[in-house]
């Protein structure tokens, strides 16, 4: 199973509301999981900004 999110684990309570339930969910999801944290720039954002710059 692959789960992706642009939110850090600390921000997941914004989505699920209850901090205790979110912690339980994360505990079960991350047990024996491979977590890949990508802090790269968004390709789509970069492309969009380049297109806007060309129009100006």
Ordered by start, the domain boundaries in the chain are 11-55
pLDDT value, residue 55:
86
pLDDT value, residue 20:
95
Long-range residue pairs from 16-19, CB within 8 A, at least 24 positions apart, any chain: none
pLDDT value, residue 25:
94
Per-residue pLDDT tens for 1-56?
999 888 889 999 999 999 999 999 999 999 999 999 888 888 888 899 999 898 87
Q: Which of 1, 28, 27, 23 is nearest to 12 (CA)?
A: 23
Give this prediction's pTM: 0.62
H helices of the chain, in order, are 13-16, 19-30, 43-55
């Amino acid at each position: 199973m692959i789960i992706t999110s642009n939110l850090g684990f600390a921000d997941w309570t914004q989505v699920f509301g209850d901090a205790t339930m979110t912690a339980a969910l994360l505990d079960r999801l991350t047990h024996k999981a491979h977590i890949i944290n990508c802090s790269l720039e968004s390709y789509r954002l970069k492309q969009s900004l380049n297109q806007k710059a060309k129009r100006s």
